[in-house]
């Protein structure tokens, strides 16, 4: 990424900066996966370096763990941390109820485990991730490699009669071979186009043999921070039913994220 911030870069930057306002010295934090979460991780590294903040972090992927250590954060296992004060992560989609689709980066299993082991989950996103109805983004489902094609067929059968507009289940690939998660599993991306009842589909997916977890995060996220290209940030907090608007003055020479790839 070059030195000049694009509008999307600026949106991610201001969302990440706003999320750091909720971080306090001594906290145990869950660190999400993906380009937006990476900005938050780098902001934390700045705070540790410049302000002497003491933080203990649990990463949701090997990639995030590597970045966190690179910027000077202390990374431990979830077993060592035991419980977290706050998890901050990105999202692929979110709706008005703060239901999410996650897993575009392939870390949905660890992300869901870490989020549910936290007092609070906060999502940071640019405005494009907000949708009226979940489903335009393919729904990731993590499955065991053994019999993955059979699992995909069972999923497609289960979707008959569900409130969806598509039932295609596509094995995620990385070049000529299946994409493999940090836990050694495969991902099936479900092209549903519309998810009328996310709670029901989430429950039904997890009853299918071979399915480990799905990318629907329901009743997990407490707060969504949405960044905009003009520096505006909106914060919606379900814990106290509040909404706030903030503004940041973002200059291109403020870019501390030159080495982070989108």
Cα→Cα distances 142→2, 52, 180, 243, Å: 34, 38, 10, 34
| Tens-binned pLDDT, residue by residue, of the chain (262 aa) | 345 789 999 999 999 999 999 999 999 999 999 999 999 999 999 999 999 999 999 999 999 999 999 999 999 999 999 999 999 999 999 999 999 999 999 999 999 999 999 999 999 999 999 999 999 999 999 999 999 999 999 999 999 999 999 999 999 999 999 999 999 999 999 999 999 999 999 999 999 999 999 999 999 999 999 999 999 999 999 888 888 999 988 765 554 443 333 3
62 alpha-carbon distance from chain centroid: 14
Q: For residue 135, what are its two tokens?
A: 């489903």
Residue 255: strand pairing partners: none
Residue 76: name the closest of 31, 122, 19 by CA: 31
Which residue reads 């497609």 in tokens? 156
**Do 210 and 154 form a contact (C-beta atoms < 8 A)?**
yes
**Do 102 and 110 form a contact (C-beta atoms < 8 A)?**
no
* pLDDT (0 to 100) of residue 227: 97
Q: What is the CATH number of domain 7-130+219-238?
A: 3.40.50.1360
* pLDDT (0 to 100) of residue 5: 81
CATH for the 139-212 domain, from 3.30.750.24, 3.90.226.10, 3.40.50.1820, 3.30.70.260 = 3.30.70.260
User: Pairing relation of β-strands 121-126 and 223-227?
Assistant: parallel
The active-site residue out of 4, 63, 80, 111 is 111
Residue count (the chain) = 262
CA distance 138 to 189: 5
Within the chain, what is the greatest distance between any pair of CA atoms?
56
Give me the phi and psi of 190, to 5 degrees please.
-95, 120
CA distance 135 to 139: 7
Per DSSP, helices labelled H in the chain are 7-19, 35-51, 62-70, 78-81, 108-116, 148-158, 198-205
Give me the phi and psi of 242, to 5 degrees please.
-125, 160
**Do 78 and 113 form a contact (C-beta atoms < 8 A)?**
yes
- Cβ-based neighbours of 203, under 8 Å, separated by 6 or more: none
**Domain map (residue ranges) of the chain:** 7-130+219-238, 139-212
* pLDDT (0 to 100) of residue 105: 96
The reply to whether 111 belongs to the active site is: yes
């Amino acid at each position: 990424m070059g030195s000049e911030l694009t509008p999307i870069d600026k949106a991610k930057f201001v969302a990440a900066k706003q999320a750091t306002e909720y971080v306090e010295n001594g906290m145990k934090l869950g660190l999400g996966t993906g380009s937006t979460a990476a900005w938050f991780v780098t902001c934390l590294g700045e705070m540790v370096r410049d302000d002497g903040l003491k933080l203990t972090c649990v990463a949701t992927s090997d990639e995030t763990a590597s970045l966190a250590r690179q910027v000077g954060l202390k990374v431990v296992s979830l077993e060592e941390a035991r419980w977290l004060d706050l998890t901050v992560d990105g999202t692929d989609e979110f709706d008005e109820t703060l239901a999410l689709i996650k897993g575009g980066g392939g870390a949905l299993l660890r992300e869901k485990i870490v989020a549910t082991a936290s007092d609070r989950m906060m999502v940071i996103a640019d405005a494009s991730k907000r949708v009226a109805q979940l489903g335009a983004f393919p729904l990731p489902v993590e499955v065991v490699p053994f019999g993955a094609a059979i699992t995909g067929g069972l999923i497609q059968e289960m979707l008959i009669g569900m409130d969806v507009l598509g039932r295609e289940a596509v094995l995620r690939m990385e070049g000529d071979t299946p994409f493999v998660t940090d836990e050694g599993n495969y991902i099936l991306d479900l092209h549903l186009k519309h998810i009328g009842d996310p709670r029901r589909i989430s429950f039904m997916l997890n009853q299918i043999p071979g399915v480990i977890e799905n990318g629907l995060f329901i009743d997990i996220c407490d707060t969504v921070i949405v960044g905009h290209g003009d520096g505006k940030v909106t914060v919606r907090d379900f814990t106290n039913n509040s909404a706030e608007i903030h503004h940041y003055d973002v200059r291109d020479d403020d870019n501390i994220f030159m080495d982070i790839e989108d």
